[in-house]
Chains A and B, each alone.
Chain A
Amino acid sequence: MNTPLRFILFIFAALMLSGCDGQKNANESLTVLAGSELKDMEPLLGDIENKTGIKLQMTYSGTLDGAEKLIAGEPTDLAWFSHGKYISLVQGDRNRILAQEKTMLSPVLLGVKESAAKAWGWSDNPNLTWRDIAAKADSGELRYAMADPASSNSGFTALVGVATALSGSSDALSIKDIDQAQLSGFFKGQQLSAGSSGWLTDAFVKEQARLNGIINYESVLMALNRDKRLDEQLVLIYPKEGIITADYPLMLINGEKREAYNKLVAYLTSPEFQQKMMEQTLRRPVIPQVKLSEDFASPLLVELAFPNDLAAIDKLLFAYEDKHRRSSHAYFVLDVSGSMAGARMQSLQTALKNLTGQDQTLSGRFSRFRSRETLTFIPFDNQVYPAKTFTINDPGSQSADMQAVRQYADSLQPLGSTGIYQALQAAYRMALEARHKDPDRFYSIVLMTDGENNAGLSEDGFAQFIAALAPQDRGIKTFTILFGDASQEGMKQLAEITEGRLFDGRESLNQAFKTIRGYQ
């Protein structure tokens, strides 16, 4: 090739390249602080990226936890929760939310097994009220699963809705209207709690034999029916006083991303996306151009007023935790072996003391030990030390009850090697005995260890012990906390054989203890 030709071809190639470059859609990546109930949007994130050129990087969080992070100014471009009302109230004048747009709708409802709904005359009954439901729960006939209101948006929305409906007032809830007696009756029926609505759903599937109802998003209940995950279909209940609908606002937090935000909102509220979203996630569309599919029930959906009063919401949450929900008995099986010495022991002590009311953050205030709660601590190294039990009558952070727990936490001394399973077995024996005597409480075990089992009962031996439990002795879950050098696989398996859950405490032991509170 002669030189001029080569030169010309080079120029051409350069021009073509630069032309292409100008047209290429530069992909942008936005961080999203999201409620864990939005995990089911993940299959749609690829589609969103294809259509808008924007990649969403989701970080999941619970109700109060998420609100707290936003208010504290945690850097994120967007926030996406099942509702933004509480966050709007908590932010006050801080104006963290620069823009918000609703993206989908799903009311929080009670689903009841078909046989029970028929027997009680609840199927297609337009006159059924939350009071009728509370009566059935109070009598012990209705046994339902509901997520913890302080940790999960579905539980939070349900609590606000039920309290508003039961108040008998037709307006937004205020402190004077909260009907404590009715609420206690209603929450007698809550026989399964969890810190997230997704985990609650899975636990409900596993324990469907002993329960006959579940409170969750309409979309979750419809998906349980669609995916045939239950032996018996659920009937969705739309009580006469009304319900509260989650509306999933996408919130702009970082003002520099407004252009990308506008693009996202335009696509998320387009008929194309709304149709896809409705079909896949079973949430209702936010635009009238997409018609509700026939899978949805279409009674008059009466919307209850959402309170505008933070003090009323606070009071309601505390009343739930300290008065209305079933009281719980929590067992803490704590590793005090030699390897815990120093910083590790200190973080354990801090985490425990924070639960006595010392953590005054939004999520800390509601994860403290509750009134009526019994706590049993079982420290272990190569031996199992005598258990110590406390009962919280006064949940004030300066009460004698809370102070006693703090003193106990400070007294823990690291020593010796690690015998995990013999300590856990001891905890099970104690918990089973306690449950025989007083069955109307939540029983659960927390296991915190920083190492591998090297003394006493083996892992297999413990698995055999669990497998050999009589049917009526099952259902006490162990929540394991991964810490220090503990084996992730081992702790996960241990959680699984007891139908509990693994929590990672390596980054923050404090946060792990707080998160577990939603399950206790």
Chain B
Amino acid sequence: MRKLIAPLLTLLLVLGLGAGIYVSVNEQLAKQSTVKVRGLIGSEKEDFFRDPRVIEALAKQGLAVEVEKAGSRQIATQFKLKDYDFAFPSGAPAAEKIKREANVNKAYEVFFTPMAVASWKLIAGILEANGIVSQRDGVYYIIDLTRLLQFVTAEKRWSDLSKNGGYNVKKSLLVGTTDVRQSNSAAMYLSLASYILNNNNIVDSAAQIGPIIQPLESLFLRQGFVENSSAAPFKDYLVMGPGKAPLVMIYEAQYLEEASRANSGVSDAMALLYPEPTIFTKHILVPFNDKGDRLGAALADDPELQKLAIEHGFRNHDAAGFRDFVKSHNLAVPDTLVNVVEPPTFEMLEQMIVMIEQRYKGN
């Protein structure tokens, strides 16, 4: 018996060792071809990078991505950029700020999304009765941003509106945003509001800022404490109801991503409103080295990753793909937005934000 056991065990040992070596060599090979890439992103893209399908598609390209989220404007001011391989903020102005800070010229425009306002049907109804919101094509809501800003700058409260049953509260009529000093989505709202207050012209000189800066400041200061990055107010919207903020400035992609999810937090009582005019936020990847560069190229060019971006609510050059996505999830979304304005130049926007920052400091 013993005579049999010894050779048998030897055989098993050899097989076992062989298998072990095979597995470990394979792992080594896989590890060698996969590059770890570490970067800073706007929080609204966190779910995209955590999606197993995205992780797999990136792995096929030999990329393993590790992300930390931050306010898109915060990235340029509060982080040591050389510790990272890339930054992927929201908004061209934030990307520009990072490019200057890190002294790089290259950038990838990966996808885009219009600014939208997360709200409730109840609230949309009240605003409709006050001539601020209208339904278009019977499917989606448009906010007349010029009229809304008239109410906001006149410091109206919800209790001042007519037919406000269900929301007769003392709160000021304000659009909830992130911190304009830290985050792009608030800066986009500032871009839109400055366009309207500047008589429907993009602010292009310092002289134009003076007369409108006070009402612009108050859009943010009156809100009190706000969050640094756009995921937080949207999460509050999903769980805290209209009592927290009845109107929340978000990226369209955030809402569409949540609404298309299985077990979605978007309920029948909720509604997505489109400001008119609106503004597009470009999501731009700024690489700091070759690794970041590889990721930028993969995200911008790989058809699978571009398709997955649509699944997360973003728009890109594949308009038909976006249409299919919207249709398959029964979402009420305008196919094309016509009244879209450009943000002011980087310098002009910076100047407005710095002035608001001074006011936060009490100057």
Contacts and interface: CB of A to CB of B under 8 A. Distances in A.
A171 B6 contact: no
B39 to A, nearest CB: 13
Output the residue of B68, B223, B225 with the most chain A CB within 10 A. Answer: B225
B66 to A, nearest CB: 9
B100 to A, nearest CB: 20
B138 interface: no
B170 to A, nearest CB: 5
B224 A307 contact: yes
Interface stretch (A1-9, A139-147, A436-444): A1-9
B224 A9 contact: no
A105 interface: yes
A111 interface: no
Interface string B326-363: 00000000000000000000000000000000001010
Contacts of A88: 225
B303 interface: no
B16 interface: yes
A95 interface: yes
Output the residue of A89, A258, A302 with the most chain B CB within 10 A. Answer: A302
Contacts of A9: 9
B317 interface: no
Interface in A465-483: none
Interface string A284-314: 1111110000000000111101111101000
A303 B167 CA distance: 13
Given A307-B225, A308-B360, A4 B6 contact: yes
A370 interface: no
B13 A12 contact: yes
A88 to B, nearest CB: 8
- Chain B contact residues (Cβ within 8 angstroms of A): what range? 35 or more
Interface in B281-309: none
B169 interface: yes
A306 B243 contact: no
A28 to B, nearest CB: 18
Contact of A170 (B16, B170, B362): B170
A435 interface: no
Contacts of A95: 78
Interface in A395-409: none
Contacts of A309: 362
A357 interface: no
Interface stretch (A66-74, A201-209, A238-246, A382-390): A238-246
B243 A308 contact: no
Contacts, number: 101
Interface in B78-105: 78
Interface in A251-308: 258, 284-289, 300-303, 305-308
B25 interface: no
Given A12-B13, A308-B224, A286 B6 contact: no
A303 B243 contact: yes
Contacts of B240: 105, 245, 301, 303
A113 interface: no
Contacts of A223: none
A39 interface: no
B5 interface: yes
A423 interface: no
A290 to B, nearest CB: 9
Contact of A302 (B10, B171, B239, B362): B171
A362 B16 CA distance: 64
A102 interface: yes
A172 B221 contact: yes
B18 interface: no
A15 interface: yes
A430 interface: no
Nearest to B228: A88
Nearest to B264: A288
A172 B244 contact: no
B265 interface: yes
- Chain A contact residues (Cβ within 8 angstroms of B): what range? 35 or more
B171 A242 contact: yes
A85 interface: yes
Given A102-B232, A285-B239, A289-B263, A8 B13 contact: yes
B224 A302 contact: no
B169 A240 contact: yes
Interface string B154-196: 0001000000000101111000000000000000000000000
A99 B68 contact: yes
A146 B232 CA distance: 30
Given A2-B2, A286-B239, A301-B243, A11 B13 contact: yes
Contacts of A307: 224-225
A273 to B, nearest CB: 15
Contacts of A300: 167, 169, 241-243
A173 interface: yes
A171 B2 contact: no
Contacts of A172: 221-225
Contacts of B242: 300
Interface in A1-44: 2, 4-5, 8-9, 11-12, 15
Contact of A287 (B239, B243, B244): B239
B237 to A, nearest CB: 10
B323 interface: no
A4 B157 CA distance: 89
A286 B360 contact: no
B244 A303 contact: yes
A94 to B, nearest CB: 10
A303 B238 CA distance: 14
Contacts of B157: 170
B238 A288 contact: yes
A242 B243 contact: yes
Nearest to A127: B168
A171 B172 contact: yes
B9 A171 contact: no
B102 to A, nearest CB: 18
B6 A2 contact: yes
B224 A173 contact: yes
A85 B223 CA distance: 13
Contacts of A258: 68
A302 B225 contact: no
A287 B5 CA distance: 59
A287 B244 CA distance: 15
Contacts of A171: 172, 222-224
- CB-based closest 7 A-B pairs: A172-B224, A288-B265, A305-B224, A306-B225, A171-B222, A302-B243, A170-B172
22 contacts: A4-B6, A8-B6, A8-B13, A15-B20, A88-B225, A93-B78, A170-B157, A172-B224, A240-B169, A240-B170, A242-B170, A242-B171, A242-B243, A300-B167, A301-B241, A302-B169, A303-B243, A305-B222, A307-B224, A308-B224, A308-B360, A311-B362
Interface of A: 2, 4-5, 8-9, 11-12, 15, 85, 88-89, 93, 95, 99, 102, 105, 170-173, 240-242, 245, 258, 284-289, 300-303, 305-309, 311
Given A2-B6, A4-B10, A284-B239, 19 more contacts: A5-B5, A8-B6, A9-B9, A11-B13, A89-B225, A93-B78, A105-B240, A172-B223, A172-B225, A242-B170, A242-B243, A285-B239, A286-B239, A300-B241, A301-B240, A306-B224, A307-B225, A308-B225, A308-B226
